[in-house]
Structure 1
């Protein structure tokens, strides 16, 4: 049995794509006879506060499904203040250093990036000719920060670029969740070993049941983080509710603004349902005609994992984010694409969707496409050959 350590900022009971991605990776490796350990902060995402069951703790160890989980102290904060967010990252980094100094570290380590600083601390402290460091890159920072408007090209940005280069340089293998990420790494280090590791989900897919032909408004749903990058608040303002009823699940920094918008604009056909567990969400999503996957701005390297999750559920999608994600929707006929950032085009696309199109036949086709092309276990086996 081979020991392997995963270092991540996100892990259940936290919700969201990042948490699910790492959980499935850990669980998958454990099922393939790896002895898996995970280091992660005390649960705090996306609320920016340590969850109730973990408050007042400096560290928590648990053994869950034969996976050893070390939850370390963090100064939890989701403030827009960059200094406070930096302090939060530094606090977890100090906890990591303390852990590295007092614990035996396996010969194989997977490090999640971003955040860059946490990955940097891991790379600089765990470098060894006898250890294999695998960098799992889910978003390209600092480029993504620049495109989101969270960063500007200044001294801080240049420093983050140097940290990014350091991380790639000292990784023995770089996993990228998109072809764009791998192209970026290859442009910097042409001989670096790379591997495309998509965010494929691993859950029992539901059987698609027959439904009566839909009439009236389309029931469209969004489920996920209500943050700046997703732009759900602006989406709520711009949608034409003549054709759709919009349902929202999730939490995040824009939640209060969205709730206020709903209260002040009763003519907007929006229903906010709050947060639910992932298992419960999967059941609820099956009741909607289609789902929307939006990004406020096109982010180079980003491919929302929702594409693969919704495909496995058999849910038609409207993609509104551009880039590689848009190409996947078109290539595999998973739904409709609207021009990124163009709300007029989005409303036009929605107005042209015939309710009878979103039937059980298209759902079965989408689900079958997922089974054939987005297989978690097949991908994991290829990764294990690289480890």
Structure 2
């Protein structure tokens, strides 16, 4: 049985796409006769506060689902303050260094990036001719930060670019969840070995057999992180509520803004349901007509993993983010596209989503496409051949 270590910033009981992706990868490798261990911070995401049961600890090690989980100390924060965010990343980096010094590290290591500094710490200390370092890139930083206007092209940005290049150069294999990520890596290191590793879901579903009843208003739903990149607060401000109900599930930095908006604007037909478990969400989502997948701005390299999860559930999607995600929706006929950042076009598309058009987007057909094209096991088996 081959030993393999996964280093990540996110892992259950934390929720979200990153946590789910790494858990399914770890579980999939374990089921394929790998002895998998995971290093992750004490759970704190997305609220920026260590979960109850883990507070006051410097380290917590447990065995869960036949995985060995090492949870290390972190200065937890979800503050928008860049200094506090930097301190949080550095604190976990210091915990990683301490762990590397006192523990035997397997010959194969998968490192999640971003956060860029955490990935750098891991690559810097673990690179070795005798060890295979695999970098799993889910978003392109610092480029994504520049497009989100979180960074400016200054000395700090150039330093982050150097760190990014160091990580690519010293990795034996780079996994990317989008073609754009792999194109970017190849533009810097043309000879680098890469592999497209999408965030395909791995859960059992039954074929949808319910019929949607015509209703007076279209039931639009968003579920996920209420962060800056998703732009849900601005979406709430821009939607035309004359013919829709907008339902929201999730938590994050914009949660209080959204709650205050609902409180102060009762004419907005917004219903905030809070955060629910992934299993509950899978049961809840199919009650709605359409799910929306927004990005505040088009981000090069970003492909929301919700696309693959919702397709497996048979949910028609309204995509509002541009880029490669838009291409996937079009290619596999999973729903509708609204021009990125164009709220007028978004409202026009929504106004045209009458019951008749919704019936054309068969839930069963969407799910069949997902089962055929977004298969987790097939993708994992291809990856294992490279490890």
1:112-131 CA deviation, whole Å, 9 max, x = no partner? Answer: 00001011111110011110
Aligned to 2:92: 92
Cα 1:128/1:328, change in 2 over 3 Å: same
The secondary structure found in structure 2 opposite 1:163 is helix
Residues 184-239 of structure 1: CA distance to partner in whole angstroms, max 9, x if unpaired?
00000000000000000100123201315423211010000101110101101110
Match of 1:7 in 2: 7
Q: CA RMSD in A?
A: 0.9
Match of 1:54, SS?
A: coil
3-state SS of 2:166 partner: helix
- Cα contact 2:76–2:88 (8 A) shared by 1: yes
Mapped partners of 2:321, 2:240: distance in 1: 18
Instruction: Give the corresponding residue for 1:163.
Output: 163
Q: Which residue of 2 aligns with 1:146?
A: 146
Between the aligned partners of 1:308 and 1:206, the Cα distance in structure 2 is 16
Instruction: Decide whether the 8 Å contact of 1:141 with 1:164 is kept in 2.
Output: yes
What residue ranges of structure 1 are gaps of 5+ in the alignment? none
Q: Deviations over 1:216-274 (max 9, x none)?
A: 21101000010111010110111011121000000111111111111111111110000
Aligned to 1:26: 26
1:112-131 matches, cutoff 5 A: 112-131=112-131
Deviations 1:106-147 (A, max 9, x none): 000000000010111111100111100000000000000000
Which stretch of the first structure deviates more once superposed, 160-169 or 353-362?
353-362
Please report how far the alpha carbon of residue 361 of structure 1 lies from its aligned counterpart in structure 2 after TM superposition. Answer: 6.4
TM-score (norm 1): 0.99
Q: SS of the residue aligned with 1:379?
A: helix
Q: In the alignment, which residue of structure 2 is the partner of 1:137?
A: 137
What's 2:75 paired with?
A: 75
| Distance of aligned partners of 1:272 and 1:212 in 2 relative to their CA distance in 1, 3 Å threshold | closer
Q: Is the 8 A contact 1:214 1:356 kept in 2?
A: no
Q: Does structure 2 conserve the Cα–Cα contact (< 8 Å) formed by 1:233 and 1:254? A: yes
Partner of 1:16: 16
Distance 1:208 1:229, change over 3 A: same
Measure, in 1, the Cα distance between the counterparts of 2:6 and 2:260: 40
Q: Distance in 2 between matches of 1:225 and 1:212?
A: 27
Q: What's the secondary structure of 1:69's corresponding residue?
A: strand
Q: How many residues align?
A: 387
Report the Cα distance in structure 2 between the residues aligned to 1:19 and 1:243, rounded to whole angstroms.
35
Contact 2:321–2:339 (Cα < 8 Å) also in 1:
yes
Determine the structure 2 residue equivalent to 1:288. 288
SS of 1:52's partner is: coil
Are 2:356 and 1:356 equivalent residues in the alignment?
yes
Structural mapping, 1:1-387, within 5 Å: 1-359=1-359, 362-387=362-387
Deviation per CA, 1:334-377: give whole Å up to 9, x if none.
00000000000000000111223334961001000000100000
Mapped partners of 1:142, 1:269: distance in 2: 37
- Secondary structure at the counterpart of residue 358 of structure 1: helix
Question: In structure 2, what is the Cα distance between the partners aligned to 1:360 and 1:203?
Answer: 26
Q: Distance in 1 between the 2:205 and 2:151 partners?
A: 39
